[in-house]
Amino acid sequence: MKQIAMLLLVEVFMFVPAFAQDTKSAPQAQQPTIAAVVDREISNAEKQIVDVAEAMPEDKFNFSPENLNLPGSDYKGVRTFAGQVKHVAASNYFIWSLLTGDKLPEGLKDGNGPQNLKTKAEIVSFLKDSFALGHKAAATLTAENMLQNPGSSKSTRLRLAVFGAEHAFDHYGQMVEYLRMNGIVPPASRGKSD
């Protein structure tokens, strides 16, 4: 995580004009804010995760590698594809609500997401709404507050904002494998003509 935070800071400061530059003779480039840089990372994670969630057919949404009964494998108890999607969304809410102060959605009690969400449409909607909260969380970041701890959290605001995207990408890798186990090429791996 320290590496990602440093990369974000480097990305912000890459665009800052040199201190020695004569500001009267050269137009200033628009400097990205920490909020904009983090928001772009959240958008990247959102695009990949939502695309993968939408690529899995509804009749395969409850697929788990455990169902394959592969000799020598140990998939006992792993999440279903729907469980992966709900977990990403639930985690997004738990992480980013610390920055926004928003209340958690009704029925959200743990990292498995609300039990009443059953259909692909309901689960994908829950996922999209969780990323909307991520964008709202990113917008709260400033150079002045990014290293502060919100509420009783031991993590900084920047850490929490970035961790949501990081965590989503961890599960993205798992979700891609679930697609491939079902003969589906993940959207990001498809050619232009697919």
Query: Residue 75, SS3?
Result: coil
- Whether 14 is in a domain gets the answer no
pLDDT above 60: residue 34: yes
Per residue in 118-167, pLDDT tens? 999 999 999 999 999 999 999 999 999 999 999 888 999 999 999 999 99
- Whether 153 is in a domain gets the answer yes
Domain that holds residue 87: 33-61+79-183
- Whether 20 is in a domain gets the answer no
The pTM is what? 0.82
CATH number of the domain enclosing 130: 1.20.120.450
CA distances (Å), 174 to each of 53, 85, 98, 132, 178, in order?
Answer: 12, 10, 26, 22, 6
Number of domains in the chain: 1
- Whether 25 is in a domain gets the answer no
- Whether 93 is in a domain gets the answer yes
Q: Which residues contact 79 (CB under 8 A, 6 or more apart)?
A: 64, 87
Q: Which residues contact 65 (CB under 8 A, 6 or more apart)?
A: 73, 75, 78, 177, 178, 181
- Whether 125 is in a domain gets the answer yes
Neighbours of 17 (CB within 10 A): 13
Q: Which residues contact 156 (CB under 8 A, 6 or more apart)?
A: 146, 147, 148, 149
- Whether 73 is in a domain gets the answer no
User: Which alpha helices (H) appear in 140-185, and where do they start and end?
Assistant: 157-181
Average pLDDT over residues 110-120: 94
- Whether 145 is in a domain gets the answer yes
Q: What is the mean pLDDT of the chain?
A: 86
pLDDT, residue 76, reads 85
Judged by average pLDDT, the poorest of 92-96, 110-114, 190-194 is: 190-194
